[in-house]
Structure 1
């Protein structure tokens, strides 16, 4: 028996059969995989955050901004810094609502105060909250539970996405548990702290390329992070390029991270790195064209099997191409107008 993937809209005197959107046809009842911008730009001071917001207006909604309340806040000014960040995220200048925040780690006495300041003010608007330097999964679970409790206390009912930094031996050891925690959306690799934690066993040169990809311990760590993230429906995010002004190096690093390891996102810490990361991680244009054509044909065929360019396609390939088309959309790639109208 053929199951027809259509909805029926009832109108006076009859009914009209409407094409079903791929989200419903292909993923109904499942947790959707997050489709996020491929670049996450870090900024700590009010000046740098404001500059990043201006760049976001110029380039469009193709990258997230992470406001840093951890390294960005001077000792003794943590509360003032968090208030500044809350004000910027809540402002009308945050037009795309693509601003997240990194708070202090579990061992820092101010992490709960960060949550107390930020969540009541921007819980409805913040794109995500990043939790750094955990050494055991229970720490992140406790932090997430606290964020939930503060949100509920202030009548904030939405899921606030959580990003977890993997930068310690303990976090890597418990990475599968971390990836499975409720609300976790992204696993970030913190390379510099991870290398430092090896007490000189990994040379400093491996904080740069090619060592950051080729050294056995870093290869293992990155591979395990990506595997745990993807298996749990979580986005894997790659570390920064330390060479701030070498655009080609950023482009090369982002390309290796995407093509060789499967990372879907990467950090930026300097303005010129943003476009390089977006360019390196965006889908291939020919694949985007194929994705639009395949999905339009599939939708017209009630999401049953089709042929395209002499090849068979079914729900397995439809899922792949729908996720690819969504990534193309958030990257700003021009796509077929018919596909854009049908799916976005």
Structure 2
């Protein structure tokens, strides 16, 4: 077994790759070698991933669709298992860490079958379907939240709460203190929705701001993520309303933008919730209605329960409702300060280090067997 080599496995989306990236940096800082196993979606991203090598593993999602598609997905996962068996045999890692998504199933399962210590990390407030399959075979289940639906009974004994690892730009942004909104000051609003959620923000936020009084609109400065096909119509509304706005399909410095905000309107993916807490910013969260198992709703509740966020279910996320929420905050800016303090209290800035401690511990224990 190669001393000091850790294989990370993550689905090819930011929600899985970002915490894996944070752990990779923490492990590298300890002198450990990191490899990444992922799927074809992350091949381009993986080139920038802090790993010595990225391995593309065949995978598929065996849910929904026709029986034929289910069989095809199963066959693809079987190919991934064989490829992972071979990869782990060649690399002989000290441990394998999975971050969820079906691309993690073959590497983590192969590790368990080979006797290599395996840890899974669940970022959401609900145990995901891939992690649900892997949990009985994992040595430990690291979680982003203390209470995770689906982690109970025998699995509860394996749980270790680490928080959700965040990237260095988030930690850098967290050093920026919240600037209280003065009674007549400019409210800096940051709006984003992620790859699956930006459309609804383009549909709801501009007409919501249009419903505000002219005086209130004059107190806004907006940063909004919008899809390419929505850019023109969103920008046109803000120009017509005279609202200072920066609209783009992508902001490479989003953590810094969040740090400058008085209020964030966003979906409630695990990474978003973790970043809002570490940076410490008030939010209005709109859980993705079609998220599997209601994980985004469970994530949002963690901030709402402490007064750090207002959660609006998607059917209730209307221009009228959002306009009312923003107007209320303009009238009572002290509420934003209280929400910012509450969010900050829930942040776990050292989550990557906590998870790295577990990885080192389990890898060392595995080598003594």
Would you call these one fold, judging by a TM-score over 0.5?
Answer: no
